[in-house]
Every structure is written in structure tokens, then in C-alpha cells.
Amino acid sequence: MTAQEYNFAYLDEQTKRMIRRAILKGLAMPGYQVPFASREMPMPYGWGTGGVQVTAACLVPEDRLKVIDQGADDTTNAVSIRSFFQRTAGVAVTEATADATLIQTRHRIPEAALTEDQILVYQVPIPEPLRFIEPREVETRKMHALEDYGLMHVKLYEDIARHGQIATSYAYPVQVEGRYVMDPSPIPKFDNPKLSDSPAIQLFGAGREQRIYALPPYTKVVSLDFDDHPFVASKAEHDCDLCGSDASYLDEVIVDDSGGRMFVCSDTDYCGGRVALGHRGRLSPARAEDAA
């Protein structure tokens, strides 16, 4: 059902216009946090109000929308946002990465390579990468303006001093085109290399913090590191227990009360696609039948 009492994609046209202007400004200055007048959305802050507004401003009736939550298409956040846009915009939806023209994501970048015809929208809780080490907004803005980014490395230094390695494993800070230091939203650092040189447009929306930033296609994005402690895109040292993939980011799932665990692809579409192609993992039902 398309609720006729709503404007297309919920937001009114003036609001979408305002958000599009912020997006264009963000694309013109990759990595720069553009303030925008974030609206109250019919969902709580932290559920992706920023991403939803960016998606609403970008959607056209011909779009095919995919929504990811931690890599999965079938978790609460993904299901509710998908049905929200089905109701208010009446757009087609899909779970297949390759079929989607607009993908809203929370905490992951799809495993499948993106194309020039796609827009990837991230939900961002805290857009300011310097926030936890410098609480004053006036000061962090000045630091961005003056490219005063020594503090970011202090954070990484502290990691190594305390843990023996850079222990930051998600929301790993990056520098965009040698200029702005940016928070890539809480994606695992395994996904960081995919930010760079991506053919798709990448948009970041933070609703509560009222910031939008963007990466145009083919933007150079470098993860910060030390010469003697280089950046490593780490993942669990296992293969997927369902599809056997050794190249995808894995979730660890506790399966019983005696410490049994399994590792599965966090990207459900990728994993399902591989299983359909006949790939099998350690705990695949097919294997279980073989054994029985």
C-alpha cells in the first residue's frame, strides 16, 4: 500500500531540496561535514534517521532499494526502513546487491563490488572522528579547517601503547584525498579499503548530529596508520561455515551452551548467493546430511 497522504518518500519537497544541496556541497568537498537542518523522522535517533533522510532525498520512483543492517537484509532495522520506503515512496525493493540502484546501509559495505549506477547511503551515529579525543565542537571544526590532525594519531598511538597494536576495529579513521579526516561510520576496518576508489557514490547521513558528508566516485581514501604499525583490514581467521568463503567479513555466532560457535558471512545476500551456486561450508545442512 502506498499511503497517499504522504509526499513521495515521506519528506516534503523543500526539505529534500535542502538535503540535496547539502549532499552536493558534500560531494564538492569530499570528507567535509556539511551541517543540515535534520528533520524529526518517525523513528528514534540511532535507528538511521540521517541515512533515511539522505535516502529520501535521493530516491526517484524508478529506484530499486536495498537496506542492510550489519550486512543482513532481514534484521529489524533493515526490515523497518525497507517497509517505510515501500509505504511512503512505493519504490521497488530488492535484497540482491547487484540489482539495487540505491543501498542504505548500517555498519557494512556489501561484499559484491559496486557499480557507477549505484548510490550507497551510510547511517552515521557520530560523524566527528576527533570527538572522543577533543570534546569541543568549536575546536574540532578549527582543527578540520586548519588540517590540524596530529590528535588522530595520538588516538592510534594510545591503542598501540595499551594493546600492542592498533585495536580500533570499526569506525577506523580515514583521510580523504589527502585533506579531511573522516569517520567512515562504524563499518569494520575490513571494509575500509572498499571506501577508496569506489565507482559508486557514497553518502553519509548523521540525523541527530545534523551532518552530511560524501565521497564522490573514485575518491582516494587512506586509512591512517604508523609506518611501523601499518593498517591491516582484519577479519576473523576462519572460513564461512555456511558458504565456505574465506574472503568475506564474518560474524561469530554462539550456537550452544558449551562454547560451540560458528562463523558466518555478515553479508547475507553474498552468502546466500554463494550457497545457491553450490558452495558449502563446515556446518552446511548438505554436509550434515552427507555425514548422516
Partner 1 sequence: MSGRKIFAENFSDEAQTKEEFSPKILGSAEPLLRVQLLTKLYGTRIGCADVSFDLYPGEVMGIVGESGSGKSTLLSCLAGHMAPDAGSVVFQTKAGPRDTVTMSEPERRMLGRTDWAFVHQNPRDGLRMGVTAGGNVGERLMAVGARHYGGIRAKATDWLGRVEIAADRIDDRPSAFSGGMQQRLQIARNLVTGPRLVFMDEPTGGLDVSVQARLLDLLRGLVRQMGLSAIIVTHDLAVVRLLADRLMVMKSGRVVEQGLTDQVLDDPQHAYTQLLVSSVLQV
- Is-catalytic flag, 58? no
Please give the grid coordinates belonging to residue 100: 539495487
CA–CA distance from 22 to each of 26, 30, 122, 136, 159 (Å)? 6, 12, 15, 23, 34
Please give the grid coordinates belonging to residue 64: 530499486
Among the options 58, 71, 240, 273, which is catalytic?
240
Give the residue, chosen from 5, 228, 237, 290, that forms a contact with partner 1 under the rule CB under 8 A.
228
Based on the shown chain and the rule CB under 8 A, indicate whether residue 226 belongs to the binding site for partner 1: yes
Minimum separation from the CB atom of position 150 to partner 1 (A): 3
The contact mask relative to partner 1 for 50-89 (x = CB under 8 A, - = no) is ----------------------------------------
Minimum separation from the CB atom of position 134 to partner 1 (A): 9
For partner 1, which is the closer residue by CB, 146 or 277? 146
Among the options 26, 50, 205, 265, which is catalytic?
265
- The footprint of partner 1 on this chain (CB under 8 A) covers a number of residues equal to 19
Minimum separation from the CB atom of position 133 to partner 1 (A): 8
Minimum separation from the CB atom of position 161 to partner 1 (A): 5
Minimum separation from the CB atom of position 181 to partner 1 (A): 13
DSSP codes joined into one string, the chain:
---TTSBTTBS-HHHHHHHHHHHHHHHHSTT--EE--PPP-SS-TTSSHHHHHHHHHH--TT-EEEEEETTBSSSHHHHHHHHHHHHHH--EE-S-GGG-SEEEEES---SSPP-TT-EEEEE-S---TTTTT---HHHHHHHHHTT--HHHHHHHHHHHHHHSS----BS--EEETTTEEE---S-BGGGHHHHTT-SSEEEEEETTTTEEEEE-TT--EEE--BTTB-------SS--TTT--SSS-EEEEE-STTS-EEEEES-HHHHHHHHHTT---TT-HHHHHHH-
Based on the shown chain and the rule CB under 8 A, indicate whether residue 229 belongs to the binding site for partner 1: yes
For partner 1, which is the closer residue by CB, 132 or 218? 132
Minimum separation from the CB atom of position 209 to partner 1 (A): 22
Contact positions with partner 1 (CB under 8 A) in 113-172: 133, 146-151, 153-154, 157-158, 160-162
- The set of residues, in sequence order, having a beta carbon less than 8 Å from that of 167 and lying 6+ positions away, is 159
Based on the shown chain and the rule CB under 8 A, indicate whether residue 21 belongs to the binding site for partner 1: no
The contact mask relative to partner 1 for 248-287 (x = CB under 8 A, - = no) is ----------------------------------------
- Is-catalytic flag, 271? yes
For partner 1, which is the closer residue by CB, 229 or 280? 229
Residues that bind partner 1 (CB under 8 A): 133, 146-151, 153-154, 157-158, 160-162, 225-229
List, by residue number, the catalytic residues. 31, 240, 243, 265, 271
